[in-house]
Amino acid sequence: MFDHLKAQPQDKILQLIQMYREDARDGKIDLGVGVYKDATGLTPVMRAVKAAEKKLWEVETTKTYTGLAGEPAYNAALCGMILGDVVPMERVASVATPGGTGAIRQALELIKLAAPDATVWLSNPTWPNHPSIIKYLGMKMAEYRYFDAETRGIDFGGLMEDLGRVQAGDVVLLHGCCHNPTGANLDAAQWDAVVRLLAEKGAMPFVDLAYQGFGDGLDADAAATRLIAKSFPEVLIAASCSKNFGIYRERTGILIGIGDAGGKGVLQGNLNFLNRQNFSFPPDHGARLVTMILEDDALTADWKAELEEVRLNMLTLRQSLADELRRVTNSDRFDFVATHRGMFSRLGLTEAQVVRLREEHAIYMVGDSRINIAGLNARTVPLLAAAIAQVS
Ligand code: PMP
C-alpha cells in the first residue's frame, strides 16, 4: 500500500531550518523560522506561564478528559480577550483546538460541511498553510491582491477590485493583525471599507488571529476582528495562543463561530462534532495555563508586561533596522520596515538576492524575502543592513 504514496513537497521553512543547522559558519543569522526570539536568540517560557505551571502541578487533581469543546472557562476567557464585549455571548460558539492551525483546519471543514461549493478567498501572499489545507480538503479558492511590491505596503486598489468580485456566500480569509508573511496591514479606514464591501457582497469573513499583542497592543490588534465580529451575521475566527503566550508546542488555539442567537446550538454542535471526528478531546495543558493567567489579576498583569516587552523589542528592532538601512543605502527605500507590524517583514528582495545573502553572508530568510524581525538583535541589525546594501 505504501508504495502508492507520492512524496510530499518539503516545507520551505523547515528546509531552511535544516540548511541553517548544517551551516558551519560562525555568526550565521537565522531570520527564517517564525518564533519569537529574545536578544540572546532564545525563545523563553514566559514568567506567568512558568508560575501557572507550578500552581497547576499543585492544584490539578485529575487528567481525565475535558469536554469536546474544551474547558468552558478557557473558551470564555479567550473569547473575552479576543472579542471584548462587542457581541452578545449567546451568538458565540467556540471550541478549543490544537493550536491556531487546528482552528483553521476545523473552520475550513465546517465551511465544507455547510457550503461545499463556497470559494475561500486568500490574500496574495498568505501563510502557505492556508492554501495547502484548502487544497488538501478539495475546496475552491481564489486570491485577492494584497501586497504592493513597489511600496511594500498594501495594494489597496487591487485588494478592493478583487474583493469586488466576491460572490454571496463566499468566504474571505483575513489576517486579523500582523500579516504573515508581509508585515503590511490595513489601517482603520481601510478595514472599514473592506467590511462595508464584504457586507454588501454577502460574504462571510474568516479571521486568522495568530499574533494578537505582537503589533500595536492586545486591544489594538483585536480591533479589526471586533469590527468584523459586530458587522456580520456570521463570522469565523481562528486564534492561536502560540505566540502571545509563547506556548508553541502546547498546541493551544480556539475556533470561534458567531451566528444568530438561535443558531448557536447547531453551530456549537457542529464544532464539537468536528473535534470528535478529528481528535476527540482538545489538548488541555496550554489552555489551562492560559485560563489560569487570564483569571488571575497578578498573573495577567505580569503576562501583559512581558508581552509588551516582546512587542516593544520588535518595534525597536524594526526602527533600528529601518534607520540603519536608510544610512547604508542613503535612501528611504526601506523605511517600510518601521511601519510594518508583527514578527515579519517582506523586504521585497529577489530570490537571487536572498540566495546571495545566504551564500555570501550566512543570513537565512525565506525565499520570498520574509524576515523574522525577532531573529535580529542590536549586534546583527548593522550586519543585515550592510549585507542588504551589498546585494541590492
Ligand atoms: N496563522 C498564521 C498566519 C500563522 O503565522 C500561524 C503560525 N505560524 C498560525 C496561524 C498557526 O499557529 P499555531 O498552529 O502554531 O498556533
Please give all residues whose beta carbon lies within 6 A of any atom in ligand 1, as ranges.
Answer: 34, 99-101, 127, 175, 180, 208, 210, 240, 242, 248, 253
23, 96: one domain: no
Indicate the residue among 237, 260, 295 that finishes a domain. Answer: 295
Rounded distance from Cα 83 to ligand 1 centre (Å): 19
Q: Which of 210, 222, 229, 385 is catalytic?
A: 210
Looking at ligand 1, which atom is closest to the CA of residue 240?
A: 16
Q: Which of 48, 77, 118, 127 is catalytic?
A: 127
152, 219: one domain: yes
Q: Which of 11, 126, 127 to mutate to test the pocket of ligand 1 (most atoms within 8 A of CB)?
A: 127
| 1 within domain boundaries | no
Nearest residue by C-alpha to atom 2 in ligand 1: 210
Rounded distance from Cα 209 to ligand 1 centre (Å): 8
pLDDT of residue 33: 87
355, 263: one domain: no
Q: How far is residue 41's CA from residue 376's CA, in Å, rounded to a whole number?
A: 8
173, 249: one domain: yes
65, 158: one domain: yes
List the chain residues with pLDDT less than 70.
262-263
Q: How far is residue 119's CA from residue 242's CA, in Å, rounded to a whole number?
A: 28
Farthest-apart Cα atoms in the chain, separation: 62
37 catalytic residue (yes or no) = no
Give the ipTM of the model, two decimals please.
0.99
- Domain of residue 366, CATH code: 3.90.1150.10
pLDDT of residue 374: 97
Q: How far is residue 102's CA from residue 170's CA, in Å, rounded to a whole number?
A: 21
| 304 within domain boundaries | no
Q: Which of 36, 43, 101, 179 to mutate to test the pocket of ligand 1 (most atoms within 8 A of CB)?
A: 101
Look up the domain containing 180 and give its range.
Answer: 49-295
365-369, long-range: CB < 8 A, 24+ apart: 365/31, 365/32, 366/12, 366/13, 366/16, 366/32, 366/181, 367/12, 368/125, 368/181
64, 205: one domain: yes
pLDDT of residue 218: 98
117, 266: one domain: yes
Rounded distance from Cα 253 to ligand 1 centre (Å): 9
Total domains present in the chain: 2
63 catalytic residue (yes or no) = no
> Could you tell me which residues come within 8 angstroms of residue 110 by beta carbon, excluding any fewer than 6 positions away?
236, 255, 257, 270, 271, 274
| 122 within domain boundaries | yes
User: For the chain, what percentages of helix, strand and coil (3-state, to nearest 5) are there?
Assistant: 50, 15, 35
203, 176: one domain: yes
Q: Which of 106, 129, 179 to mutate to test the pocket of ligand 1 (most atoms within 8 A of CB)?
A: 129
90, 231: one domain: yes
pLDDT of residue 387: 97
Of 194, 294, 193, 204, the C-alpha closest to 257 is: 204
| 2 within domain boundaries | no
208 catalytic residue (yes or no) = yes
| 129 within domain boundaries | yes
> Could you tell me which residues come within 8 angstroms of residue 59 by beta carbon, excluding any fewer than 6 positions away?
none
Nearest residue by C-alpha to atom 7 in ligand 1: 210
194, 108: one domain: yes
What grid cell was written down for 54? 507550578
Nearest residue by C-alpha to atom 12 in ligand 1: 100
151, 173: one domain: yes
Rounded distance from Cα 34 to ligand 1 centre (Å): 9
105, 20: one domain: no
pLDDT of residue 263: 67
Rounded distance from Cα 96 to ligand 1 centre (Å): 15
